[in-house]
């Protein structure tokens, strides 16, 4: 079936370095993707999104890259800070109406000082 999956369950980076979190998707018809950040004990928080007619989108310290050829999505965080420590999920909009999203299992980002 269709799925959204992440390559690495845990990513450790030094504070100040750039972080890259990857995500693979299998539904070639997917046209919208979102990255969420979930801090411990909280609900997921929207970070950035991208539509399938784009290759790249930038936000504040974050960039999402979409490679439709290999069905791969990545989130880049520049100058990673301790406050970036969290679980990051990619999500894929699925068909059938209702703006339903399918979530990946998540990557734990740990920022070391």
The residues binding other proteins (CB under 8 A) are 4, 32, 34, 41-46, 49, 89, 93, 97-106
Nearest distance in Å: CB 38, other proteins: 9
Give whichever of 17 and 31 is closer to other proteins, judged by the CB atom. Answer: 31
Measure the CA–CA gap between 34 and 78, rounded to whole angstroms: 18
- Specify whether the CB–CB gap between 19 and 109 falls below 8 A: yes
How many Å apart are CA 102 and CA 92, to the nearest integer? 5
* CB of 75 vs other proteins, minimal distance in Å: 14
Query: Which of 14, 55, 13, 59 minimizes the C-alpha distance to 33?
Result: 55
- Closest contact distance (angstroms) between CB of 107 and other proteins is 11
* Nearer of residues 69 and 97 to other proteins, judged by Cβ: 97
Q: Tell me whether strands 107-112 and 10-14 are parallel, antiparallel or unpaired.
A: parallel
For other proteins, the closer of residues 60 and 69 by Cβ is 60
């Amino acid at each position: 079936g269709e799925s959204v999956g992440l390559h690495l369950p845990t990513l450790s980076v030094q504070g100040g370095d750039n972080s890259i979190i990857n995500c693979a998707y299998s539904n070639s018809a997917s046209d919208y993707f979102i990255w969420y950040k979930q801090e411990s004990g909280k609900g997921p928080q929207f970070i950035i999104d991208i539509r399938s007619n784009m290759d790249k989108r930038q936000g504040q310290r974050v960039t999402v890259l979409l490679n439709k050829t290999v069905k791969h999505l990545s989130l880049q965080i520049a100058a990673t800070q301790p406050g970036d420590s969290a679980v990051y999920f990619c999500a894929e909009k699925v068909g059938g109406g209702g703006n339903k999203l399918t979530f990946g299992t998540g990557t734990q980002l740990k920022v070391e000082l």
